[in-house]
């Protein structure tokens, strides 16, 4: 149980089979075992994430941070025929941030170590006492990626739009997709991803000549799905050019769009060209 006690129930009297409502057969007693550590001083978790993805660094706050010797995930039980097929203990790498109440922890590397699902997150002190209440964490294969609906921008189309507008605006040119999340998990992150546009290389300089602006609210893969079913959340962005200076002196130029929402980040490349854009459109498609 999340408080460190052990709940035991089930079975039948003398291993007999039959109607579970028959008092001569059914064993309906429940026993709760309290290990010796229950009466000992135990650490507490002040804060911890409610969902994680594989290999993700995360923090756990505890007033007893400097006394913690172990951090672990324990799979929530799934018992049948007196056998808990889901039970597993997964020790995690962690480091105490000196002078703080924070533990820097790393989630399991992949599903072979810890299958997706719900776990109890435990911290254990030097005396071997687990925390008073474990945090419940959902571990899943979460990811984000950028779809470039417009992967190439030509100086000609940018200049044509700037000749009639303060900015050259390309509607819904990018989509940032967050996959594997539950709706309430997305709601705990910033309202929309933040986007940075970087010139020439992923480690290049950020430009303000090109900006990505949200267009509309989040698009769910299937809004009718129950809230406990994971799905894709998609955010659309317009791409805007304030001028055409980024095209100067180059034939082709790489631009990297870096998206981030909370700890989840992704990026994609688009190309600026001084040549006619083979993908440009001249009006509505029919």
* CATH of residue 175: 2.60.40
**Domain of residue 36, CATH code:** 2.60.40.10
pLDDT digits (tens, 9 = 90+) for 8-29: 887 777 777 777 778 788 877 8
According to DSSP, the residues that pair with 120 across neighbouring strands are 74, 136
pLDDT of residue 282: 59
Please tell me whether residues 102 and 178 are part of one structural domain: no
Structural domain contains residue 286: no
What is the reported pLDDT for 32? 96
Q: How many domains does the chain have?
A: 2
Identify the segments of the chain with pLDDT beneath 70: 279-286
CA 273 to chain centre: 35
Q: How many CA atoms lie within 13 A of 57 on its CB side?
A: 7
- 46 belongs to a structural domain: yes
State the pLDDT at residue 66. Answer: 95
Evaluate the CA torsion angle 21, 24, 25, 31 in order and state its sign: positive
**Domain interval for residue 93:** 6-10+29-140
Helices (H), 125-216: 155-162, 183-187
Q: Show the tokens assigned to 280.
A: 């440009």
**pTM for the whole structure:** 0.83
CA distances from 279 to 82, 151, 236 (A): 62, 9, 19
- Residues 135, 167, single domain; the answer is no
Residues 173 and 263 in one domain: yes
Burial of 2 (0-12, 13-18, 19+ CB in 10 A): middle
What's the pLDDT at 11? 76
Report d(CA 220, CA 225) in Å as an integer: 9
């Amino acid at each position: 149980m999340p408080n460190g006690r052990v709940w035991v129930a089930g079975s039948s009297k003398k291993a007999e089979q039959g109607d579970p409502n028959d008092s001569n057969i059914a064993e309906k007693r429940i026993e709760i075992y309290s290990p010796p550590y229950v009466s000992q001083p135990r650490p507490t978790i002040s804060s911890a994430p409610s969902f994680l993805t594989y290999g993700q660094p995360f923090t756990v706050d505890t007033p007893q941070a400097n006394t913690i010797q172990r951090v672990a995930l324990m799979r929530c039980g799934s018992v049948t025929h007196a056998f808990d097929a889901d039970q597993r203990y997964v020790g995690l790498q962690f480091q105490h941030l000196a002078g703080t109440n924070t533990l820097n922890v790393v989630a399991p590397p992949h599903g072979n170590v810890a299958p997706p699902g719900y776990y109890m997150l435990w911290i254990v002190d030097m005396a071997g006492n687990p925390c008073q209440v474990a945090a419940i964490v959902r571990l899943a294969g979460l990811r984000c990626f950028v779809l470039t609906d417009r992967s190439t921008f030509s100086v000609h189309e940018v200049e044509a739009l700037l000749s009639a507008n303060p900015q050259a605006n390309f509607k819904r040119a990018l989509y940032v997709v967050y996959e594997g999340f539950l709706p309430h998990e997305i709601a705990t992150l910033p309202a929309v991803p933040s986007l940075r546009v970087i010139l020439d290389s992923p480690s290049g300089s950020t430009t303000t000549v090109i900006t990505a602006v949200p267009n509309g609210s989040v698009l769910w893969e299937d809004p009718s799905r129950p809230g406990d079913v994971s799905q894709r959340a998609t955010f659309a962005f317009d791409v805007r050019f304030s001028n055409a200076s980024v095209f100067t002196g180059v034939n082709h130029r790489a631009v990297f769009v870096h998206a981030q929402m909370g700890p989840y980040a992704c990026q994609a490349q688009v190309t600026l060209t001084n040549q006619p854009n083979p993908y440009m459109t001249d009006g509505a498609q029919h």
